[in-house]
Amino acid sequence: MASVTLLLVFLVKLLIFQPAEGTCDRSSILLGAEEVCWSATVKISDRIQYTTKSVLNFAKEKLGLGSEEPFHPQQCDYYECIFKEMKMLNENGYPNYDKMIEWIDNNVIYNHAKIQYDKIRDCNAALTASIVSDKYFSGDLIPHNEDERLQTKCDVAMEFMKCIASNGTECVIFTYP
């Protein structure tokens, strides 16, 4: 009995006192949301878009017009789905800063989270400014044409994912594309 207790104490210490410089493993919750959204949104629409693009390219080649570039979808539905699955959208359907910070607090090792906090803050500030001024939101945080209005919530979700995914480190938490 004493050896079982010592083993349990050892395992608890091992779990609690992990090194602060832990590996940058992506959260299984986020990976699960990505898998659900990939199956639900991208695969079906990709096939439809790919088939359409293939038929058009085939017709253009037969007419001697040359084909277009290969199809590489940027699916706003996929990114919007991830935010929904992770419960990171506010009541208006835009990415929610507080819910993202709460998720980072609970799922990312502190050293990696510090950088992501800054990136989420910058992206959120740009998104808030875009919503208030009804101007285009760019995930690159580069101002666009002054006349461009705020895009759909789906497109905003895609641009927001693009923004938070580019955190400038080797620790990938969110991915785009």
The DSSP letter of residue 147 is T
Cis bond upstream, residue 177 (ω within 30): yes
Q: What is the pLDDT of residues 92-124, one digit of tens each?
A: 999 999 999 999 999 988 888 888 999 999 999
- Model pTM above 0.75: no
Is the pLDDT at 13 greater than 50? The verdict is no
pLDDT for residue 10:
42
Q: Are 116 and 108 in contact (CB under 8 A)?
A: yes
Residue 98 burial (10 A CB sphere; 0-12, 13-18, 19+): exposed
Q: What is the pLDDT of residues 121-146, one digit of tens each?
A: 999 999 999 999 999 999 998 877 76
Closest to 158 in 3D by CA, of 70, 93, 113, 102: 93
24 against 124, higher pLDDT: 124
Is the pLDDT at 174 greater than 60? The verdict is yes
Write the CATH number of the domain with boundaries 22-165. Answer: 1.10.238
C-alpha–C-alpha distance, residues 15 and 109, integer Å: 14
